[in-house]
Amino acid sequence: MKKILLSMLIISAFNINAQITDVAVTATPASITASQSSTISTTGSQQGVNYSLRNSSNTVIAGPIPGNGNDISFNTGILTATETFNIYTESTNSVGLEFDGSNDYLTASLPTNFPYNTSYTIEAWVKSPLPGNTGHSPIFFVGTAVADDIEIYVQKNTNDLVVAHNRGNGGTLQGATFPDPPNNVWYHLAVVFNGSTIEAFYDGVSQGIQSNVTPLQTSGASITIGDIFSSPWSAGGGNPAAFTGKLDDYRIWSTARTSSEINANMHNSLTGSETGLETFYTFNDATGSTATDEVGSNDATLTNMDPATDWIIVESAAIPGGTGIGNGLDFDGSNDYLSTTIPTNFQYNNSYSLEAWVKSPLPGNAAYYPIFFAGDAVGSDIEVYVQKGTNDMVVVHNRGNGGAVQGASFPDPPNNVWYHLAVVFDGSTIKVFYDGVSQGSQSNAAPLMSTSAEINIGYIKSNAFTPSWGPKYFKGQLDDYRIWSTARTSSEINANMYSCLTGTESGLEAFYKFNNTSGLTATDELGNNDATLTNMDPATDWKVVSSAAIPCRSTGGPSWSIQMTQTATVTVTSTGINEQTAATSFSVYPNPTSYQITIDTEENIETIKIIDVTGKIVETKRLTNTTINVAHLIKGLYILEIKTDNGLTHSRFIKD
């Protein structure tokens, strides 16, 4: 007796936790014989979540089916042996709000329990260009038309983040300034006041602490997001002031959140019931002129905004929700690197694509920062590195390997923030992409494939890359590292750079999620090319990924997945490879076979069907003899359904 365990398998998503409800899973029937199927059902489902049935290889068997609140059922297809299934749940697209910088803003009343004169925390995901000389960029305002209690804005000219209390409200005006926030990329902003000091955080990293007076609470004050209208603001030269950019996942707290609380939850989709959370706008409404408060009744009104265009699909993986915060690898720039063999089908002399999420400081004059190397100790087939001195991204083929050495250089990559890197060679040209945006295309000679080549991540092994030039070890963090034997297109890169891959994608030769968390091996999700950590400390180099810029996200927009805890068991009656389900005298040979099979029986065979492991009938025959040609079938396990005068008999065979 064999059992099929139907477990909810966690699917790695790097930085985000989702609010997806766990559901029970049942199998009907719970006991079957070989070559039958079972139905797997969930007890309920959620709107905004897609459900798929996958086997133990994470191949989708059925779905995705959108949740609608009702039970969802999947058919397993024909089952012949023990198999473990999982239900994969994935959110649909996330939505945010876009502000035009002219007159778009939100208004809302003050939450009932928001005594901001005692403490407060404001959090949001922000993507906005630095204003330069164009005007101030307000993110949060509390006050009236004649009094400002709290102002949070990015200042024109200096691009500083400014937090000011008590402009024109009768209190003591005092402000705090913090360094420029990230420019026009998604980042998490948190501003915390604890009663005496203000602290600002970008992506969970403190930007400093400054003493500040307590804000007064003006009678009749309300909240504005994206603009400041008060007369004291205007009198102080504040205009023009209108936020330009995108906002998502906006949270207003009555408590002073700690650094650990911010970092632990900035990638999480909250429930709305958290202590101290007074207002929470997910901006997932998608339509209409109201942004729903997930906590209670403090909905915000869109003013001067166009619901047809200002509700946007968030195009970055920077916004919550998905499975728990994931891991990456940290390289010290001294001697850390990974090494592995060349994947069997990685013919990089024809074409290749390399993808990774990267966070690294620009090296300046300190060193070269290698991201990928293929070659040996004598020569380099492929080098991808950030150049010492210029900070250019450089791709070189055939340094010291006997081929025609040629290189291509591209603009500086983003400095010390998470970005997605893609390097593509199509046989004649090299293209580089940062966050899906092309950095140009340059002709280049094809790389040779050295017979003793290996792959290094974070190091250039070749002595042709002269050590006297300077250190050649990567410094920074890497995550979600993908090696392809194909030249990925711009649309493929953009469609999948935020996606969780299954490992079965065509052309994918090695895939390192770096979610091991311990040990000296980075697992290849394809199962063939695990990488060895060299000179690295597993106690410190497996890092919780500190930015939200990492997958997993589904095609078309951000999404997340979640672990279900329920299991269901289906009992399958099966024996060996030649099992037959009728008490008759049959033999099927040779088994396995590459060309033909023969059915040896004294019974009268009416028809035979050949069925693949998904339950699909691939062939039906009326036999004129007992030999069947199977040379045209792809390799795999098949069911032979034989109909005789005595009924049906099933036998299995392997096409090799």
Whose structure tokens read 């007992």?
626
Which of 44-48, 435-439, 539-543, 618-622 ranks highest by mean pLDDT? 435-439
Q: What pLDDT band is residue 254 in, cutting at 50, 70 and 90?
A: very high
DSSP 393-431: EEEEEEESSSS--EEEEEPPPPSSS-EEEEEEE-SSEEE
Give the per-residue pLDDT at 320: 47
- The CATH superfamily assigned to 587-655 is Macroglobulin (MG2) domain (2.60.40.1930)
How many residues comprise the chain?
656
What's phi and psi for 487, nearest 5 deg?
-90, 105
CATH of 96-313, one of 3.90.79.10, 3.40.980.10, 2.60.40.10, 2.60.120.200: 2.60.120.200
Give the per-residue pLDDT at 212: 97
Q: What is the mean pLDDT of residues 201-215?
A: 94
Whether the pLDDT of residue 561 is over 90: the answer is: no
Rounded Cα distance between 303 and 305, Å, is 5
Q: What is the mean pLDDT of residues 145-162?
A: 96
Give the per-residue pLDDT at 47: 60
Rounded Cα distance between 30 and 44, Å, is 19
Q: What pLDDT band is residue 524 in, cutting at 50, 70 and 90?
A: very high
Give the per-residue pLDDT at 394: 97
Give the per-residue pLDDT at 418: 83
Per-residue H/E/C for 311-355: EEECCCCCCCCCCCCCEEEEEECCCCEEEEECCCCCCCCCCEEEE
Q: What pLDDT band is residue 12 in, cutting at 50, 70 and 90?
A: very low
Region(s) of the chain under CATH 2.60.40.1930:
587-655
CATH number of the domain located at residue range(s) 2-92+562-573 in this protein: 2.60.40
Higher pLDDT, 287 or 446: 446
Higher pLDDT, 576 or 302: 302
Higher pLDDT, 504 or 267: 504
**Contact call for residues 645 and 605 (beta carbons, < 8 A):** no
Rounded Cα distance between 418 and 309, Å, is 28
Give the per-residue pLDDT at 123: 97
Give the per-residue pLDDT at 289: 93
Q: What pLDDT band is residue 152 in, cutting at 50, 70 and 90?
A: very high
Query: Which ranges constitute the DSSP H helices of 52-210?
Result: none
Beta-bridge partner residues of 525: none
Q: What is the pLDDT of residues 474-483, one digit of tens each?
A: 999 999 999 9
Would the CA dihedral through 144, 217, 180, 497 be positive or negative?
negative
Fold designation for 327-549: Jelly Rolls (2.60.120)
**Contact call for residues 458 and 371 (beta carbons, < 8 A):** yes
Whether the pLDDT of residue 586 is over 80: the answer is: no
Rounded Cα distance between 155 and 303, Å, is 23
Give the per-residue pLDDT at 115: 96
Rounded Cα distance between 456 and 439, Å, is 24
Whether the pLDDT of residue 636 is over 60: the answer is: yes
Range of weakest confidence among 193-197, 268-272, 640-644: 268-272
Q: Which residues contact 261 (CB under 8 A, 6 or more apart)?
A: none
C-alpha distances in angstroms, 247 versus 90, 97, 316, 318, 499?
22, 5, 12, 11, 22
Rounded Cα distance between 619 and 639, Å, is 11
